[in-house]
Structure 1
Amino acid sequence: MVNSNRLFNMVDNIPLPGDPLPFNSPLYIERPPLESDAYTEISKPGGLLRIRASHNMGKSSLISRLIHQAINQGYSIVTIDFKQADRQIFVSINKFLRWFCVNVARQLSLIPNINNYWDEDIGSKVSASIYFEYYILEAIEQPIFLVLNELQYVFESSQISQDFLPLLRSWYEQAKQNETWQKLRLSLVYSTEIYVPLNVNQSPFNVGLSLKLPEFNTEQVTEFAQRYELKDINSSNIQALMNLVGGHPYLIHLSFYHLQKQTISFQELLQTAITHDGIYSSHLRYLLNYLQINPELLQAYHQIIISQSQDYIPAQIVHKLDSLGLIKRDENHNFKPACEMYRLFFNQEKLIASDHKSLRIKQLEAENQQLKFLVNIDSLTQVANRRYFDERFQLEWRRMERIQQPIALILADVDRFKLFNDTYGHQAGDECLRQVAQMIDSVIKRPGDLVARYGGEEFAVILPQTDAQGALLIAEEIRKKIKKSQIKILRFSQNNPVTDTANVTISLGIAAIIPQKYLALKQLLAAADQALYQAKQTGRDRSIISLDFRYCQLIN
C-alpha cells in the first residue's frame, strides 16, 4: 500500500477518469508481471512489444511509464499516433510511409531529407527501410523507443496494412543480425485483434512480447480504493461494485473519483448506475449512440444481450465490439456483455424495440448509408476513395470467380501532372483532378462499375463482366474525352476572377482475366500497373492492354 503521506492533495489534484496517469502517479495500479515484462522487452536489442486492450483500459498510462523507463535508460523517444493522421495519408503506401518517416525524423530533431533516400524504382517499402537504416539509425547514437499508438486505424486500410505490417516484421527480423537495427525498440499499441489477413511469416503479431491488459482483480481494486483514501469502502462494497462494473479500470476509476469528491454516496452510485442521473450516464450514452449509428454492431450486440446461444457473428464485428470494451467470453466461449451494468442498461434501452423495430431499422439503415457514402468517397474528386476501391475489388473478384466471368481493371494516370502543378499551382492541380475524375465517371454507365481515386493523380476503374476488348473501348473513350476537353483554371487578375484553360492527357493500363483459385487479385492489379507503365514509357496519351492478363475471345 502507498503511504498516504506521499499522496498529493486528493481534493485538488485528482486526475480525471479517462486521462492518462503521469508516470509517477500514486494512483497507477500495477498488474504484475505485465510491467516488469514490458521493461525487460524494451531493454532488449531490437525488442518488439505488442500491447492490446480495449478503450480506457490503461494503455496510455502504461506507455507513459514505459517512456519514462526508456528515458532513464538513455533512449530517444518517438511516438506516432495513427488516430491523428489525415484520411488522405492512407491513400497509398508511398504517401503513408513518407508521412511516417518524416514524422519520425522530426521527433528526433532531424531534417527529414527524405528525397535523398526515396527512389520510386525500388519502391516505397525498400526506400523506407533504407531511410531508417542509413539515415535515422545512423544519425542517432542511442537506442530509439518507437511507440506506434492506435494501430487499429491502420488495420482499417487493408492495402496499407498488408504492406506496412510485414515491413515492421522485416525490421524486427533484421535486428537479429544487424547491429544498426538493434537500436530500434518497437511498441505496437492497439485496441482490437488484427483482422487483416497476413502470412504467418510476415506478421509482426506473432513475434516479440504480447501483452493484453487485463481487468483489475479484487486485490487491485482494493489497493486502488486505499490509494484514493476511501476509508468507508469495505470489502463488501468492493464486491458489490465489481459485480456491477467488473474490474474495468476506467469504470472503477470513475466510481472512486466521485466517491472521493463526495458527489454521491455508495448506495446512490449503485441505485442510479443505469439512469440518466447516474455517474456512468455519459459513458453509457456514448456507447449507445455508437451502436445506433452502426446497425451491424447494434444487431450483433442485441443478439448477445438477449441470447445464451448465438448465431455466427462476423469477426470484424466481434473485433469492433471488443475494442469498445462491450463484450467478453463466458465459460462456454459464447460472447456476453463485458459487465452486468451493460447488460442492464442495454436491456432497459431495448436496442431493437418490437413496436418500433421496422421504422427504427429503416432510419438506422438510411443513416448508415449516408455515413458509408461519406466514408467511401474521396473528398477532393467525389469519386470512390482507395479504401472503398479495395473493398469492392475484392468483392467483385470473388463474385466473378464464382460465376466464372471476366473482370477488367483500368489504371489511369494524368500525364506530366507534376509539371501541371508546378506551372499552375496546387490549387489548379486539385481542380484538374476534380475535372478529370468527373470526366472519367461520365464515361462509366453501368451501375455495377466503379471509378475510384487510386492515389495522387492516379485513378482506377473496375469493370465486372468485361473482357479486355470491352475495357479497351472504355479506356479509349476516357482518353479521347480528356484529350479534347480543356481544364478550366480560375485565377485572379487585379482582384477580378479570370478563367484560363489548359489541356491534359491521360495514360491507361488495362488488364482482364477470369479469376481462378490459383490467381490472386493483386496479380491483376500488378498487370494493369505494368501496362500503365508501358503506356507512359512509350509516349503517354495511350491505352495499353497487359501482355499477360488480356482475356478476350478476339485477343490471344
Structure 2
Amino acid sequence: MKSILLVAANPKGTVSLRLQDEEREIKERLRLAGYGKVPISSTGSTRPRDIQQAMVDFKPQIVHFSGHGAGQDGLAFEDVSGQLKLVNSEALANLFKLFSNCVECVVLNACYSKFQAEAIVQYIDYVIGMSQAIGDRAAIEFAIGFYTALGAGESIEFAYALGCNAIQLDGIPEYLLPVLFKRDKTDSKNSTDLEPLYQDFYIERTSIETDCYKAITRPGALIRIKAPWQMGKTSLMLRIFSYVVRQGYRAVRLSFQEADSEVFDNQQKLLQWLCASTAYALNLEDKIEEYWHGSLGSNFNATRYFQKYLLAASDTPLVLGLDEADLVLQRSDIGSNFFGLLRSWYERGKSDSTWRKLRLIITHSFEAYIPLNINQSPFNVGLPILLPPLTEVEVKELLERYHLNWSEEQIKYLMDVVDGHPYLLQTALKSIASGRFTLDEFLKTAHTDLGLFRDHLNHYLLFLESYPDLKLAMKQVVDSLSFVRLESKQAFHLSSLGLVKLRGNDAIVACGLYRDYFRVHL
C-alpha cells in the first residue's frame, strides 16, 4: 500500500471549494481497499511551511493537492493570516526534487495546474495537472476514480485513465482536462516536452529558412508562419531569432499561450500586456502609466508606447515574435482591433524611419473565424510561410539521426500512422530509439488515451467540441475511407488544422492516427 499525503488549501477571499468532500471520498475509496489510518496523512489550511513539514514527517509516495491554481503564477497556498499566497512552479519543483527518492506521483487537482506539473515532472516519475479550469464536481469524480484504481493495486497510468473515465461517466465534459506527465529517465528533457522539434534533430528546410533570413533583414518586415499545431512554427521562429541576434538585432518572443486568461478580457488589457511584456524582455522599465492615457484609446496608447519608448530606446532593429496568435484570432471582440493595429504598424514601416526598425513574426495555425477587412489584416501582406509535412526523404534522414535502420515496410507503417508530422514523428522516434516502445507497441497504442499522443489528440478534440460545424464535418471524414465533399469553409479550416488533406473541397483524413482516434471519440 502506497503512503498518501493529502494537501488542501482554500485561502480567504478565494472561491469556496468542496475540499472536505474530496478528502472524504478519497479516504472512503482507500478504506474500501483496506487502507488504515497509517498510510494516509492529511493537512488542511496549508501554508508553504506546512507542506514542507508534512513531507519531512511522512515521506509520502503519493502527494495529492486540492485547491486553486493560477496558471503560470503558481498554486494557491495560505500565508500566516490565511490570505492567498501563490507559490510558483520553480519553488514547488525544487521542493519535490528534495523528496524524489520517496515521492512517485504528484496529483495537482487544481485549475491550470499543468504548468506546475510540467516543472515537477523533471524530478518525479508521474505528475497529474489540469490543462484548464476544472469544476468541483469533476475534480471530485477524478479523485474517486483515481483512488479506486490505486487502492485496488492498479498502476498510476491505469488509475489516471479511470479517473478521467469517472468524470466522463458522470456526464461531465471536463474529462479531457486532467493531463498525465511522465518523466523520461533516459533524457534530461521529459517526454512531455511541447517543443515541436528537438534542436539536435531539427530537419532544416533550406529554402524556407533562407527566405525568412532574407525577409527579416528588410526594414518593416513581416513574416507570418502558418501550419497546424506542433508542426515546427516555434522552432522556425527560434531559428530566425538565432540568426537576427547574430546580426546584432534585438529580439523578443511573446507567446499568447503564456498570457493569463484575463489578458484577453478586452483590448486595453491585451495591449498593455504586449507593451509591458516587450519592455520586460528588453530589460527596460515598465512605463505603462506614463504613456497610457485612457481618453486617447488603447490603440493610440500602444502605438505611442512602441514609437516613443520601445523603438526609440535603440537604433538597432527590434524583431517581435508573436507566437500562438490563434488565441487572439478566436476572439471576435478583440481580434479585429488587435490585428488591425499590427497591420497599421506594418504600413507605418514603409515610410517612417522609426517604424522601419520593427520587424514582426506571427505564427498561427488557422485563419480567423472573425471577419478582417482586407486593408486592415496582417494576413495578406508580408512573407507567408506554409510549413508542409516532412517528406519521405526527410523522414529517412531523421531515422538516421536516431540510429534506426528500418526497412521500407517499417517506414511505410510509420508514415501511414503519423504522415510527415514533425512533432508526431519526433515523439515516436525518440521513444522507440530509447527502448521505451517497439514499433509494433507504438502502432498498437498510438491512437488510444494511454498512447504517446494523448495530449495532442485531446487538444484537437477540445477544439472541435467548441465548433460543432467542424466536429460534424470531421465525423463525416473519418467515417469514410475515401474523399468526402465538404462546405468550402469547413474544408479550409480542417485543412488548416492539419486534420484533413484536400482535393478541391473534397477531404480525406490526414493520417491513420487521426482516423482511429476520432472514430472512437466523435
CA distance in 1, matches of 2:281, 2:459: 34
Q: Which residue of 1 aligns with 2:304?
A: 130
Structure 1 residues 221 and 198: CA distance shift in structure 2, 3 A: same
- In structure 2, give the amino acid aligned to 1:20: E
* Corresponding residue number in structure 1 for 2:394: 220
In the TM superposition, what are the counterparts of 1:360-399 in structure 2 within 5 Å? Answer: none
Residues 17 and 222 of structure 1: CA distance in aligned 2, closer, same or farther (over 3 Å)? farther
Counting only pairs closer than 5 Å after superposition, residues 219-368 of structure 1 correspond to structure 2 as 219-230=393-404, 232-275=405-448, 278-280=451-453, 283-284=456-457, 287-288=460-461, 291=464, 295-307=468-480, 308-312=483-487, 315=490, 319=493, 321-322=494-495, 324-329=497-502, 331-347=503-519, 349=520, 351=522
Secondary structure in structure 2 of the residue aligned to 1:46:
coil
Please state if 1:150 is matched with 2:324.
yes
Q: Which amino acid aligns with 2:269?
A: K
1:55-75 deviation line (CA, Å, top 9, x unaligned): 111112112211111211111
| Partner Cα separation in structure 1 for residue 271 and residue 450 of structure 2 | 47
TM-score, L = length of structure 2: 0.59
With over 3 angstroms needed to count, the CA separation of the structure-2 counterparts of 1:161 and 1:79, relative to structure 1, is: same
In structure 2, what is the Cα distance between the partners aligned to 1:59 and 1:182? 24
Structure 1 position 19 matched with structure 2 position 194:
yes
Paired residue total: 336
Q: Is the 8 A contact 2:417 2:513 kept in 1?
A: yes
CA contact (8 A) 1:14 1:257 kept: no
Partner Cα separation in structure 2 for residue 129 and residue 286 of structure 1: 34
Larger radius of gyration: 1
Given that 1:17 and 1:250 are in contact with CA atoms closer than 8 Å, whether structure 2 keeps it comes out as: no
Distance 1:95 1:286 in 2: 26
- TM-score, normalization by structure 1: 0.55
Aligned residues with identical type, % of pairs: 38
Which blocks of at least 5 consecutive residues in structure 1 are unaligned? 1-9, 352-556
Q: Deviations 1:270-312 (Å, cap 9, x if unpaired)?
A: 3444456654456445645665676554323212222543453
Deviation per CA, 1:245-285: give whole Å up to 9, x if none: 21011111122112211233333433444456654456445
| Equivalent runs, 1:36-47 vs 2, <5 Å | 36-47=210-221
Whether the 8 Å contact between 1:303 and 1:310 is mirrored in structure 2 is no
Q: Classify 1:109/1:306 alpha carbon distance in 2 versus 1 (closer, same or farther; 3 Å).
A: same
1:76 paired residue number: 250
**Considering only aligned residues, what root-mean-square deviation do their CA atoms show, in Å?**
2.8
Q: What per-residue deviation string (whole Å, max 9, x for no partner) do you get for residues 68-108 of structure 1?
A: 11211111121222122233323332332222212212221
Is the 2:224–2:379 contact (alpha carbons within 8 Å) kept by the matching residues of 1? Answer: yes
| Conservation of the 8 A alpha-carbon contact between 1:71 and 1:77 | yes
Cα distance in structure 2, aligned partners of 1:304 and 1:265: 30
Q: Which has the higher contact order (CA 8 A, sep 6+)?
A: 1
Q: Which SS does the other structure have where 1:304 is aligned?
A: helix
* Partner amino acid, structure 2, of 1:43: T
CA separation of 1:225/1:181 partners in 2, compared to 1, >3 Å: closer, same or farther?
same
SS of structure 2 residue aligned to 1:154: helix
2:209 maps to a residue whose letter is E
**Selected match of 1:139 from 313, 316, 331:** 313
The alignment status of 1:183 with 2:360, answered yes or no, reads no
Contact 1:148 1:188 in 2 (8 A): yes
Equivalents in 2 of 1:110, 1:97: separation in Å? Answer: 17
Q: In the aligned structure 2, how far is the partner of 1:139 from the partner of 1:234?
A: 57
Which residue of 2 is the match for residue 471 of structure 1? none
- Give the Cα–Cα distance (whole angstroms) in 2 for the partners of residues 161 and 194 of structure 1: 9
Q: Give secondary structure in 2 for the equivalent of 1:33.
A: helix
Aligned to 1:109: 283
Q: Distance in 1 between matches of 2:293 and 2:521?
A: 57
Structure 2 distance, partners of 1:159, 1:73, is 38
CA distance in 2 between counterparts of 1:175 and 1:293 reads 37
Give unmatched runs, 5+ long, in structure 2.
1-184
- Mapped contact 1:79–1:149 kept (Cα < 8 A): yes
Q: Which amino acid aligns with 1:220?
A: E
Query: 1:440-459 to 2 correspondence within 5 Å?
Result: none
CA distance in structure 1 between the partners assigned to 2:271 and 2:187 by the alignment: 44
Compared CA separation, residues 111 and 269, structure 1 to 2 (3 A): closer
Is 1:192 matched with 2:373? no
